[in-house]
Amino acid sequence: MTDRFVVIMAGGRGERFWPESRLARPKQLLPIVGEKAMLTQTVDRLKGLVDPKDVFVITNAEQRDAVLEVCPDLDPAKVIGEPMGRDTAAAVGLAAVLVRRENPNASFAMLPADAVIHDAAGLRSTLETAFEAAEANPVLATVGITASFPATGYGYIQQGDTLGEYAGRTVFNVKRFVEKPNHETAQSYLESGDYFWNAGMFVWSVGSIVAELEKSTPSLWGALQAIDRGLAAGEGMDPLLAEHYPNLEKVSVDYAIIEKATNVVMIESGFDWDDVGDWPAVGRHYPSDENGNVVRGLTQIEDSKNNIVFSRDDNHMIALLGVDDLIVVKTEDATLVCHKDKAQEIKKIVQTLGAKEVLKKLT
C-alpha cells in the first residue's frame, strides 16, 4: 500500500497569459517556459520521490482530457475534473477524501501545477524533508522560498523557532503568514532574513489535514463526506461532483485553514522557484538581446527596447520599430499588443470577450 502521494492543483484559467492560454488549455498545459507543458514538467520533477501512478491532478472538467494528453503516465482515475472552481480549500478537502480512500495512514503533498523550477533534485530533497516531518509530527508542513528581491506580489511566511532536523534539513515552526506587502514592508522582510515567499506548497498526513478540515471548515468537510459516501457506494465521480460541488464553500485553504492553524511548520526551499504569473515574468527565463528584448518566434526588431515577443508561427513575421516595453503575443486566431505595465490587466480582455457571445470562442 502506497504511503505517499502528490496532489497537483491544475485548475487555473491562465487569463493573464491570453491569447496563448485559453480555458480549455491554460498556462499549465502549455510550454510557457521550456519545451514541455508546465504541468508535464511538474510531474517529471517528482519522479524519484513518488511514482506517477501515485499522483493525483485536480483540474477543471474542461481540461481533463488535455491533462491526460500532456501527462500520459498518470492514472486516468486520479485525474479529477471539477465541474466548477471552488477555490483551494475545496481542492484540498477533495484531495484528502481521495488519498484517504487509497490509504488512511498516508501523507500527501499539495503542489501548484505551473511553477518554474530548474533544480528538480532540490525540490525532491525539500519535499522529502517535508514528508518526514509530517509523518513524524501532527503538523502541516509548507515550503518557504528564499526571497531574492522585495516582491510585493507574493505572500510571506515568518520563520519561528526550530522544530527539528528531518532528512538532513532543519524544519521551523511558523510564526505567522502575511499578505502581499507594499514595497517598503517587503524590503524590511528581505533585510530581516526570517521572511520567506509563500509558494503554496504543502505536505501533511491524512489525519492532520482532516483534523483541520473538521475544525476549521466543518460545512465544507461535511459536504465532501457526501462525495466520499457516494464513492463507497459505487457511484461515479463525475455525477457526485456535479451534485455536491455547487454547494461547497468557495474559500482558499490559506484563509480557511493555514493562517489559523497553530501547527504549521516550514522548510526553507533548496531549489530555485518562480511562479511566472504574467508575461513579463516569462522574460526572466529566456535570453535577451543587447536592448533587453526577449523574443520567441520569427521577429525583426529595430530601435526598440525591453519588449517581449511570443509566437509559434514560423511563417509569420512580427516586426517592431521604435517601441519599448511592449508585450506582443501572436496565436493562430488572436494577437495581443499591450504595455508591460498593463500585464496584470490582460484578464479584463478575456472577461470582456467571454461576455460577448460571438467572441466566446477566443477565451
Residue range 136-163, pLDDT digits in tens: 999 999 999 999 999 998 999 999 999 9
pLDDT digit string, tens, across residues 9-28:
998 888 999 999 998 889 99
Q: What is the pLDDT of residue 178?
A: 92
pTM of the model: 0.94
The amino acid that residue 152 corresponds to is: T
C-alpha cell at 138: 501532527
Q: What is the pLDDT of residue 358?
A: 63
Q: What is the pLDDT of residue 138?
A: 98
- Residue 256 has a CB neighbour count (10 Å cut-off) of 22
What does 256-325 look like in DSSP terms, one character per residue? IIITT-S-EEEEE-SS--B---SHHHHGGGS-B-TTS-EEESSEEEES-BS-EEEE--TTS-EEEES-BS
pLDDT < 70 stretches in the chain: 358
Angle at 343 between CA 341 and CA 345, to 5 degrees: 105
Residue 168 has φ and ψ, to the nearest 5°, of 80, 5
Residues 362, 346: Cα–Cα separation, whole Å: 13
Residues 113, 325: Cα–Cα separation, whole Å: 29
Residues 273, 11: Cα–Cα separation, whole Å: 20
Q: What is the pLDDT of residue 355?
A: 79
Q: What is the pLDDT of residue 23?
A: 85
> Domain 4-268 is of which CATH architecture?
Alpha-Beta Complex (3.90)
Nearest CA to 205 out of 126, 127, 99 is that of: 99
Domain limits, the chain: 4-268, 279-362
Q: What is the pLDDT of residue 363?
A: 85
- Residue 303 has a CB neighbour count (10 Å cut-off) of 10
Q: What is the pLDDT of residue 95?
A: 98
Alpha helices in the chain, H assignment, sequence order:
38-45, 64-70, 87-102, 120-136, 183-192, 206-216, 218-232, 237-244, 253, 279-282, 346-355
What residues have CB less than 8 Å from 289, skipping those under 6 apart?
295, 301
C-alpha cell at 20: 496563448
What are residue 112's DSSP bridge partners?
Answer: 9
